[in-house]
Structures are given as structure tokens and as C-alpha cells.
Amino acid sequence: MFKSFSNRVVVIAIIISVLSGCATFQLSDLFQGYNSQMQPVKLAQRQGDFLKAQNLLGERDQSNNTYVLSLLERGRLQFLAADWPTSQKTFAQAYVQVEEQRNKAKIQISKGIEKLGAVVSNDNATSYEVPYYEQSMLHSYQALNYLFQNDLSGALVEIRRANLVQEAALKAYKDEIYKAQNELHNSGMSTDSLQGGYPSMDSAIGKVKNGFQNAFTFYLSGVLYEASGELNDAYIDFKRAIEIYPENHYLQQDVLRLASKLGMQDDLVSFQQRFGKYQARESKGKGQVVVLVERGIVNSKQDIGLNLPVGRSNNGFKFFSFSLPVYEGALPQHNKLIFNSAGESYQSNEIVRIQSLAAKDLKDQLPILLTRQVVRVVAKEQVRQKLSREAGDVGNILASIYNIASEKADTRSWSTLPDQVDIVRMDVPVGKQILQVQVNGQQKNIEVDVLPNRITLINFSVIGSYTGHQAINL
């Protein structure tokens, strides 16, 4: 009996010593997925109770490996609550964390302790690395924070940062994917192993070509450059946006209008061949109203368990249990919103599907995730065998229970982002106007004060039962 008790003490001591090297995460992160933790937060968000949602987030210390993600979630909820100064400070803190991650990656600072934690537990023991599409949204919302505090120059700084993120992503994309696929091959696996067991994310990915090019960020950039009189820069970013969303009617009109205004005759001919002849509209006595329409909340990653072979054909295969994140199901369908003003109707057009960017980013990350999984399951099996030898059946049973309980997929992602963003651009008579829009069977009125030859920007949110808006004259 004493021997059995001592064996238990040995096993528990080993597990505790292992976890002590992973002190940068909460035990709830180890045994409960991030998606589960965020469910009550997202419920409060859908109800429009953003203060409650913030309280449900809880506090994470700066040393916590999900700290930067908690800042993103909190900054987004503060933005929705129209607390722009506080949201600005929170996003600024998140940006500092992202920059620190980038600098560490450049000089290859060792993550030995984090890697040890991930090997003996799961990927939740590693610091959350903010993907490119989330970085561009960070800067986009920070730009809006500045705008709603009447700071156009500050907003332009953030927009430039957002564009730099997309440029850096484009340069790194192919190299990162190639390296990840090679590492996975060297581990004795390939993504072909997932066929038949891992759900396809193609329906969630839709038409996007990569997980970082964001037409919404480019469009917002173009609008702000246009408002500041930098028409060439605006034209460049509208062209970037339309290469991603060529079917967007408002983008088509923007590139046609600026190509004509800037005398870009070759471009104008090309665009007219694609989108039809440009017809200038009467602008006298009118201003422009641009509406950014946020739709829903992005889905959270889910945890899926698989039994997959590890090894090479010449040495034989062995099956292990894996837990991987996945975006399941098809994209939710959002009806186009119709805005009415001065006897004319304008239909919202999609400019980004954040759910698709998230799913594509995850699909591209699968080789990296699988490589870490192979290392982890093999290491856990070695630990189990060692404990079985040293502590007998007790060690074997407890180690097996721990391995099963701790094998959780990393379901972390910025979960309070909108699922989709639409845009509307309309010419509206100068003066105080009321825009009407039907949402969830109810008519909503948006009061705006339109200035001549100026842009009025509206951020309109439709999230569950909540609708809200903010407006600013640029």
C-alpha cells in the first residue's frame, strides 16, 4: 500500500514539475478551450451588453500567453461601447505586444519553456501569435478610434500600419507555407493524412485566395486618403481593394471616378471594359455618405479529435490521437441591407468576409499545427512509458488520463470581430438628413449632417439583436 501511495506521489510530482514550466497560462486554458470560455462573452455581445461582455472576459496578467488576445477582445468591445479613448489605449497596448512578438521572431529568441509546456500539454501553452488578418483589423479599428475623436492624422498613421501588415504578409506567405510543409514531411506526416477525417473548410473559406488580404482595410484607407485630399494614394488603395472584390459596385464606381478625375486614361479604358462606361453624377449641393456595415460575429474555432498515423512506410506506422482546431459549417448568409435617402435606395455590398480570412489562415497553418502535434503525442507517449516503468500501473493510468485530458486543440482567435463587413456609398443632399434602413424587421433612422463635397463616415453595427451606429464628418 505504501509503495502504491509513493508511486502516486511520484507521478503527481512529475506532472506538477512539468506544469510549473508553463506558468504563463491558466489551468482553465489547459483543460477548457478558448471557444468555450468566450461563449458567455459573445452572448452578451449579441445582446448589446458590451460592459457585461468586458466583465466576462476577466483579467489576464501581462505574462499570460493569451494577454495580447484579451487586449484585442477588450478593445473591440470598448469600441462597440463607443468608449473610443479607452479602446484606443487598449489597442495601443496590443500593438506593443504584436511588435514585441515581431522583434522576437526576427532575432529568434528561444521559446524553450513555452515549447516544453506545449509538448507536455497542448498549444494553449504557447503565446498567442496574432495572425496577419487580425493585425490589419487591429489597425483599422484603431483608425476608427482616432476618427471618432476627430483625429484624421492619427487615423492615417494606423491605416499606413495596416497596409504595411498586408505587404509584409504577402512577402512572407509563400516562404512560411513551404517551410511548414517541409517540417511536417520530416516529421513523418503530410496534410494528406487528414483526408476523410478532418472536415473541409472550403465552404467557410469561400473565394478568398489567402488569409490576410483585406479589402475592407484598403477601402477604409482609400476613403481616408480621399478625405485628406491625397487622391493618388486613395486611388492606389481603391485599386488594391477591387482586385480582391471586383464585383463590389461601390468599388467599381470609386476606381472609375478617380481614374477619370486623375486623368488615368489607360486605367479608365481598362476599368470601363470590365465595369461599364463611367457616368459622372451631379455633385453640386451634395456630400458623400460612406457606411461601413458590420454584420454578426465571427464563428469560433472548434476542437475535433482524430486518430492519425505517424511514421514512415519503411519503419511502420503507429496511430495516435490528435486534437485540431477547425471552422465547421458553411458561411452564414446575411441579407443585403437597403438604405434609403432622398428618394433613392442603396444596397450594401460585401467588402470583407472575416470568417473566410480566418478559415483560410487556419488551413494554411495546418502543416505547422500538425508538426507540433506529432512532436507532442510522441513525447507524451514516451513520458507515459517512462512513468509506467517507474510507477507501474498507477503511473500508466494517471499518465494516460493526463494525456487524454490535456489534449485540447488551440481554439484561440479574435472572437468578437464581425463575421462580415459591407459598404454603402451614396450622394446625399447637403444639410441634416435621415437615412432609413430596415434591420431585423424594424426601421432604423440614422441622422446625419451632410457637408458640401465632404465625406460623412458612418460605422453601422448589426450584431444579433443589437444595432448601433457612429457618424463623423471627415
351 in helix, strand or coil? strand
21 vs 106, which has greater pLDDT? Answer: 106
pLDDT for position 399:
46
Work out the burial of residue 260: count CB atoms within 10 Å of its CB; fewer than 13 is exposed, 13-18 middle, 19 or more buried.
Answer: middle
Max mean pLDDT among 84-93, 96-105, 199-208, 319-328 falls in 84-93
Q: Is the pLDDT of residue 133 over 50?
A: yes
Q: Is the pLDDT of residue 89 over 80?
A: yes
pLDDT digits (tens, 9 = 90+) for 1-51: 444 445 444 444 444 444 444 445 555 555 568 999 999 999 999 999 999
Would you state the cell numbers that stand for residue 291, as one nine-digit string?
A: 457606411
User: What is the band of 240 on the pLDDT scale with cuts at 50, 70, 90?
Assistant: very high
Spatial neighbors of 307 by CB under 8 A, at least 6 apart, are 197, 319, 320, 321, 322
What mean pLDDT comes out for the span 75-98? 97
pLDDT digits (tens, 9 = 90+) for 325-349: 999 888 888 999 999 998 899 999 9
pLDDT for position 247:
95
Mean residue pLDDT of the chain comes to 83
pLDDT digits (tens, 9 = 90+) for 404-451: 555 678 899 999 999 999 999 999 999 999 999 989 888 999 999 999
Using left for φ > 0, alpha for ψ between -120 and 50, and beta otherwise, residue 235 falls in alpha
Q: Is the pLDDT of residue 158 over 70?
A: yes
Residue 141 neighbours by CB distance under 10 Å: 24
Q: Which has the minimum average pLDDT: 132-136, 319-323, 426-430? A: 319-323
Residue 309 neighbours by CB distance under 10 Å: 14
Q: Is the pLDDT of residue 53 over 70?
A: yes
416 in helix, strand or coil? coil
146 vs 213, which has greater pLDDT? Answer: 146
pLDDT for position 112:
40
pLDDT for position 5:
45
pLDDT digits (tens, 9 = 90+) for 187-227: 555 566 666 678 889 899 988 888 888 999 999 999 999 99
pLDDT digits (tens, 9 = 90+) for 369-411: 877 777 666 665 555 555 556 555 554 454 444 555 556 788 9
Whether the CB-CB separation of 58 and 66 falls below 8 Å is answered with: no
Q: Is the pLDDT of residue 293 over 90?
A: yes
User: What is the band of 118 on the pLDDT scale with cuts at 50, 70, 90?
Assistant: very low
Max mean pLDDT among 113-127, 271-285, 369-383 falls in 271-285
Whether the CB-CB separation of 167 and 215 falls below 8 Å is answered with: no
Q: How far apart are the first and last CA of the chain?
A: 78
pLDDT for position 56:
96
pLDDT for position 25:
53
- The sign of the dihedral angle between the CA atoms of 273, 274, 279, 285 is negative
Would you state the cell numbers that stand for residue 28, as one nine-digit string?
A: 482553465
Q: Is the pLDDT of residue 474 over 80?
A: yes
Long-range contacts of 284-287 (CB under 8 A, 24+ apart): 285/429, 285/430, 285/452, 286/427, 286/428, 286/429, 286/430, 286/450, 286/452, 286/453, 287/427, 287/428, 287/430, 287/450, 287/451, 287/452, 287/453, 287/454, 287/455, 287/456
What mean pLDDT comes out for the span 339-360? 94
pLDDT for position 304:
86
pLDDT for position 114:
45
Q: Is the pLDDT of residue 134 over 60?
A: yes
Whether the CB-CB separation of 128 and 68 falls below 8 Å is answered with: yes
Q: Which H helix or E strand runs over 321? A: strand 316-326
pLDDT for position 179:
67
Max mean pLDDT among 121-130, 263-272, 377-386 falls in 263-272
pLDDT for position 109:
42
pLDDT for position 180:
59
User: What is the band of 113 on the pLDDT scale with cuts at 50, 70, 90?
Assistant: very low
